[in-house]
Amino acid sequence: MVYDYEYFKKAVLDLTKIDLNAYKEKQMKRRIDTLIAKNGVVGYDNYVKCLKSDSHIFEEFVNYLTINVSEFYRNPEQWAIMDKEVFPELIQKFGKNLKIWSAACSTGDEPYSLVMALSKHVPLNQIKIFATDLDKQVIEKAKTGLYSEKSISGVPEDLKKKFFTKIGPSYQISDEVKERVEFKGHNLLKDDYPINYNLILCRNVLIYFTEEAKEEVFRKFHKALSISGVLFIGSTEQIVNYREIGFARKNSFFYEKP
């Protein structure tokens, strides 16, 4: 048997249900080769054996693969548009009990930012955010809700005082915010999508996907939205064929299902 990258992709799919064919190969292969070398392992076959036998190496691999870079209120100017335009319009159309999905939510920075931002428009007890990620480790971290000073630097000062407690060098998000978010594992490329959402956020994740995988995900998001629902994407992304998929462009990073 040839233990090449093709073999490795099949082995990873069997072990993790992550399809590496959907990721840009050159980028992803370089990342994986770096991780294998870091662990002092020679060859894809030996690394697959490690993944099967060592839970620490397996968790490290999934965590490394899912590229978790996150922070609160990332790209504040886009959150300002959300605050001034998107939230008021959605509340006017759908009422205060908005259905919101934070897809590929990483360590929880985004769904918790959503709760805090929405709390300026809606009572906290009426907010419910559905947040998903492929990586179980980051979901556990999100549920703990402990963040560095750098991670929360974008949070408006009044919300920082209201919803965070300093614990040593870290900051703990309040239980009243945590209670508004439901976390769940979800694979964007494999699992069924929930439906009838008024707002979906998926930001700075799809840049690692192939064009085909990206389009498939955008089409699924379109189906997952209610009529007049909005998709909020990352500052590094764009939906080139948004009209063909069925979106109307509100501005650079917000797309509506008319």
Q: What is the pLDDT of residue 140?
A: 84
Average pLDDT of the residues in 217-237: 95
Q: CB burial class (10 A; 0-12, 13-18, 19+) of residue 148?
A: exposed
Instruction: Name the residue with higher pLDDT: 168 or 244.
Output: 244
Q: What is the pLDDT of residue 250?
A: 92
Average pLDDT of the residues in 17-22: 78
Residue 52 has pLDDT above 90, yes or no: yes
What superfamily in CATH does domain 76-256 come from? Vaccinia Virus protein VP39 (3.40.50.150)
For 36-92, give the secondary structure using H, E and C.
Answer: HHHCCCCCHHHHHHHHHHCHHHHHHHHHHHCCCCCCCCCCHHHHHHHHHHHHHHHHH
> What mean pLDDT is reported for the chain?
91
pLDDT per residue as tens digits for the range 100-154: 999 999 889 999 999 999 999 999 999 999 999 998 878 988 998 888 888 899 9
- Sign of the Cα torsion 76, 101, 94, 254 reads positive
From CA 100, how far away is CA 181, in angstroms rounded?
Answer: 10
Portion of the chain with pLDDT greater than 90, in percent: 66
From CA 68, how far away is CA 127, in angstroms rounded?
Answer: 25
Any idea where the domains of the chain sit in the sequence?
A: 5-65, 76-256
